[in-house]
Chains A and B, each alone.
Chain A
Amino acid sequence: MNPLHVLVVDDHAMFRTGVRAELQKDPGVVVVGEAEDVDTAVPAVLATRPDVVLLDVHMPGGGGAEVIRRVLPQAPEVRFLALSVSDAAEDVIGVIRAGARGYVTKTISGAELVDALHRVASGDAVFSPRLAGFVLDAFAGTIEVAQVDEDLDRLTEREREVMRLIARGYAYKEVAKELFISVKTVETHVSSVLRKLQLSSRHELTKWASDRRLI
């Protein structure tokens, strides 16, 4: 198996060093570069073409969401995993809606981070319990039946169950076992939720993101 190429983007040098050390313990991961703000990150991503960009949410030049917006048109194959100390709902949802395939907090352990990177690289989504909680909150409540695009605007019963289990701290494998489905199916559900989160034009979703500062 080819090692995973990862680019680390964060404005704190100490944090970059820490992540690099943590990731290099795993032979399956190679850190191909680092960047410290939006303006250095975009050319670095385009030059190194990593499998996954590990992206800080708050960064000089407009933050992680801006990096994604600038890179994706030129390199749609690059995947992003957002990593932040901020748990603010609007930041989490903002970076996901910009195109990140997952969101983890900086307190995540090294092994979990490597696992999340592999997952994102293979095209799956990474949902932390907190992100799952945000999703459940954002898609909570009834909406009128006549609303446009309702497929995108609400979760299926199964997707809700999966989100609830993730919010309860279950790993994908445990979710699969609990619901008597395969891990692959869990991944399909999570990716579908990610798609809805990114594409839903649901009025409540944007309103929710700006309304709720405390969750």
Chain B
Amino acid sequence: MRRAYRPAEHRLGGGVAAGVAEHLGVPVLWVRVGFVVATWFNGAGVLAYLLLWRFLPLRGPDLSPGLEAATRRGLRVPGRPGGVEVVQTLAVLAVGVGVLLLVQGGARPGGSMLLPLLVVVGGIAVVWRQLDDAAWQSWFTRTSGGGFVLRVAAGLGLVAFGVLYLLTQERGLSAVRDLGLALLVAVVGLLLLLGPWVVSLVTDLGSERRERIRSQERADVAAHLHDSVLQTLALLQKNASDPAAVATLARRQERELRSWLYGEEELPGDSWAAALRDVRADVEETHRIAVELVVVGDTPLDADLVAVVRAAREAVVNAAKHAGVDRVDVYAEVGQGVVEVFVRDRGTGFDPDAIADDRMGVRGSIVGRVENHGGTARVRSGPDGTEVALTMPLSQPAASPEEPR
């Protein structure tokens, strides 16, 4: 079963609407409207929102180590909701409150508890939003400073306002019940106000555990760097007199580190894009050439596509061997019912027709292989270099690009 989360970024309030929208796969605006509409019915929307806020776990953005570190150190801006979304939500809220007042004002004078309740909830939300946000938490736990005073004053003011409003609105009830209710509201308000401090006390206990995890992570990173970068640096020094070897080593290390940092991780071997990335790694290593690979879309690998991958590999190897260049561009696209691969170099071209029949390279390994599987291969060569274009119809429709991975 899929678990629902509240995202830590792209949220306006508690992230409940964003989380629910992501879970259900609907636009977040619908969810917000849903909450507002539900509020018209005895405040069910507010209640649902608060409950979900309490019970949905917060999830930080799932980033690769490099991006996560960059975000943490302020080197990149984390995603935030756009201005349009804020305005949209405020508009929805305004309409919601308007309808609410209309309904309340008309029917039952005794039932007008919802408005003050909303104000109280607003005040509390201001305080709790702070606790929720990891980045603001340290700021929040500070118990001095202008912002702190302002925020607590706002929370207290709103709670007091709500209580007063409740008291003045309650008519025809006994004084005892008035007092009891007021006390109860005040106590609940105070509890909620002080809640953050209580919780932060409890979380202090968790910080020790966090520290342990962090040191383990540090050890993992150190191990990773030792196994990869450090080894490569040693190899580079050993091979300093051989520029080609140095370039190959550096490039392999770059590729490896990049995939680790920026999340181009190897997928299981049944993906088209992963197969092409394998080809790139393999050819770069054995033939000392840079392969610039751009892949658009992905699809599961079948026998036909394996043939295309092998043919593409052959084309890249050919370029590496004969074109006399240090770089080959490979572009692969999964389109509507067809996959295409283009392998291009800017080296010395050749005449495809002039190749002897017994030379297997182009004819057998590239053109023949693809045509046997129902695809087409076109080789174009000239003074500007060589381009091999491979096309293969897809047996089953590719996953739509909008589908989650």
Contacts and interface: CB of A to CB of B under 8 A. Distances in A.
B211 to A, nearest CB: 25
Given A169-B344, A211-B404, A65 B333 contact: no
Nearest to A131: B294
Given A63-B76, A137-B297, 17 more contacts: A58-B70, A58-B75, A60-B75, A62-B75, A62-B77, A63-B70, A87-B264, A107-B254, A132-B294, A133-B331, A140-B297, A141-B402, A167-B331, A168-B342, A168-B344, A201-B84, A203-B27
A167 B329 CA distance: 8
Contacts of B73: 60
A91 B258 CA distance: 14
A63 B77 contact: yes
Interface in B61-83: 62-64, 66-67, 70, 73-77, 79
A100 to B, nearest CB: 13
A164 B387 CA distance: 14
A177 to B, nearest CB: 9
A2 to B, nearest CB: 32
B302 interface: no
Interface in A139-170: 140-141, 164, 167-170
Interface of A: 11, 57-63, 65-66, 85-88, 90-91, 94, 107, 129-130, 132-133, 136-137, 140-141, 164, 167-170, 174, 201, 203-204, 207-208, 210-215
Contacts of A207: 402
B405 interface: yes
B297 A65 contact: no
Given A11-B75, A87-B258, A133-B295, A215 B329 contact: no
Contact of A164 (B67, B70, B254, B333): B333
Q: Which are the 4 A-B pairs with shortest beta-carbon distances? A: A169-B329, A133-B294, A58-B75, A63-B76
A65 B67 CA distance: 15
A107 B62 CA distance: 27
Contacts of B296: 133, 136-137, 140, 167, 215
A171 B64 CA distance: 32
B137 interface: no
Contacts of B267: 214
Contacts of B292: 129-130, 169
Contacts of A86: 66-67, 70, 261-262
Contacts of B273: 215
Interface in B16-39: 27
A94 B77 contact: yes
A62 B402 CA distance: 29
Contacts of B67: 86, 88, 90-91, 213
B384 interface: yes
Contacts of B27: 203
B77 A215 contact: no
B384 A63 contact: no
B364 to A, nearest CB: 25
B265 interface: yes
Nearest to B84: A201
B324 interface: no
Contacts of B344: 168-170
A208 to B, nearest CB: 8
A132 B329 CA distance: 13
Contacts of B310: none
A58 B295 CA distance: 24
Contacts of A91: 67, 76
B267 to A, nearest CB: 8
B294 A213 contact: no
Contacts of A170: 344
Nearest to B62: A213
15 contacts: A85-B258, A86-B66, A88-B263, A90-B79, A129-B294, A130-B294, A137-B296, A141-B400, A167-B296, A167-B331, A168-B344, A169-B344, A213-B67, A214-B265, A214-B405
A65 B76 contact: yes
Nearest to A98: B77
B24 to A, nearest CB: 14
Contacts of A63: 70, 74-77
A130 to B, nearest CB: 6
B401 interface: yes
Most buried by B among A62, A90, A167, A174: A167
Given A65-B76, A65-B77, A211 B405 contact: yes
Contacts of B342: 168
Contacts of A174: 384
B264 A214 contact: yes
Nearest to B404: A211
Interface string B42-57: 0000000000000000
Contacts of B74: 60-63
A144 to B, nearest CB: 12
B151 interface: no
Given A88-B67, A137-B297, A204 B262 contact: no
Given A86-B262, A136-B296, A168-B331, A204 B402 contact: yes
